[in-house]
Chains A and B, each alone.
Chain A
């Protein structure tokens, strides 16, 4: 190995590290959507990146890096709940909805309500819907990431969106009426 090879090796390593850092925020967003706990999401991302650095030689195709990273994240997430059975109850996670002040902006209200609806979904459905909607993965990629058949991905996504519709659509059907009343009053 000559000096250029060594230099090239370090440059590639630095490049790979920079790419991993860029992926951090995306991993964190999905991890947070899965667990709704900033601390746990942060830990999961740390673990994912550490494993990714250790296993970086396993990544043959750089184009598949995103799916590979999210596969590691899904494994870390699964391992975490395998380790700690006494996980938080999902019902407790969406308490922020009840504590929302009335003065909070409507945007924040929507965000809180959607997060609460996603938090109520079963774990498998929550993972599928966030991978598809947040990261834009294809169904095949999601099937690989979560190690489930593609039919399962499609049925989980379908059930997740139906459940969300059932929770959220009534909320948003009431709001336009309220907004319309408000506008009428101003006029």
Chain B
């Protein structure tokens, strides 16, 4: 027994579990082999170790059948969810990217003047960035102003209103877009030979890059066909295929429609 006291229970456990340093283990081997009491203690500890291993060699099967299938299902569901999110994200991003396409269509129409239309100034084959729509700009205020008559007093008032609108947005540091669509009699406002506000329009265009004047190609064609008038437009005025079609397109894109 006196020998048995030489080693603590923790030491004997460490010996059984092979947790001792080599020199300690060698010393313990010698001591244990010479002491029956120590030997019995170690035997009992080994027996406990073996019994625990024996008791859990075959634990009862989990209640649900096919654990691995469940696990696989969870993993698959996880990947499925990620894939679904990516798919939806792709669709949304795809739609956002596709949005400008209908907007660009009229621009191409503007860039192709008809042969018999004599236009003063330059066409904006690719209009400034202000005419392009992207996802970030979709939130900006966009106003379409429709001018279809040539009442001088009202046109003057309309130009004042347009300038007021542009000033308002500028003061609010909002990058608004304003497009003035001219068809029918309204075309006279931007015809070089008939406009009484050429100077005013030039000044507005110079000051506000986000302002566009768009003349209707159908009206230009009709003037030539019916009255033999070769329309000459003011500088910086773009041409669109159809005033009515442009109004509908812009409204579909969420533009605010105002008629003078």
Q: Which residues of B contact A158 (CB under 8 A)?
A: 9-10, 13
| In-complex Cβ contact of B48 among A50, A111, A168 (8 A) | A168
Given contacts A53-B75, A158-B13, are A115 and B68 in contact (CB under 8 A)? Answer: no
Number of interface residues of B (CB under 8 A): 29
Contact B17 A132 (CB under 8 A): yes
Contact B49 A41 (CB under 8 A): no
Q: Which residues of B contact A138 (CB under 8 A)?
A: 19
| In-complex Cβ contact of A134 among B14, B48, B53, B64 (8 A) | B53
Contact A38 B63 (CB under 8 A): yes
Q: Which residue of B lies closest to A54 (CB)?
A: B78
A contact residues, range: 35 or more
Contact B14 A29 (CB under 8 A): no
Q: Which residues of B contact A17 (CB under 8 A)?
A: 75
Q: Annotate B134-173 by CB proximity to A: 1 below 8 A, 0 otherwise.
A: 0000000000000000000000000000000000000000
CB distance from B11 to the nearest CB of A (A): 9
Query: How many Å lie between the Cα of A155 and that of B9 in the bound state?
Result: 9
Q: Which residues of A contact B44 (CB under 8 A)?
A: 165, 169
Query: How many Å lie between the Cα of A17 and that of B79 in the bound state?
Result: 13
Query: How many Å lie between the Cα of A117 and that of B86 in the bound state?
Result: 52
Q: Annotate A12-26 by CB proximity to B: 1 below 8 A, 0 otherwise.
A: 000001000100100
Contact A46 B51 (CB under 8 A): no
Q: Annotate A41-77 by CB proximity to B: 1 below 8 A, 0 otherwise.
A: 1100110011001000000000000000000000000
Q: Which residues of B contact A46 (CB under 8 A)?
A: 67, 70-71, 74
Given contacts A46-B74, A165-B44, are A29 and B62 in contact (CB under 8 A)? Answer: no
The A110-134 residues at the B interface (CB cut-off 8 A) are: 110-111, 114-115, 118, 129-130, 132-134
CB distance from B186 to the nearest CB of A (A): 57
CB distance from B4 to the nearest CB of A (A): 14
| In-complex Cβ contact of A165 among B48, B63, B71 (8 A) | B48
Contact B17 A162 (CB under 8 A): no
Contact B48 A29 (CB under 8 A): no
Given contacts A53-B75, A139-B14, A154-B13, are A42 and B62 in contact (CB under 8 A)? Answer: yes
The B35-62 residues at the A interface (CB cut-off 8 A) are: 44-45, 48-49, 51-56, 59-62
Query: How many Å lie between the Cα of A92 and that of B122 in the bound state?
Result: 93
With A39-B62, A53-B75 given, can you name 7 additional A-B contacts, CB distance below 8 Å?
A17-B75, A30-B56, A38-B62, A46-B70, A46-B71, A133-B52, A139-B14
Interface residues of A (CB under 8 A from B): 17, 21, 24, 28-30, 32-33, 38-39, 41-42, 45-46, 49-50, 53, 110-111, 114-115, 118, 129-130, 132-134, 138-139, 154-155, 157-158, 161-162, 164-165, 168-169
Q: Ordered nearest first, which 4 A-B pairs have the shortest CB separation?
A: A42-B62, A114-B55, A133-B52, A32-B59
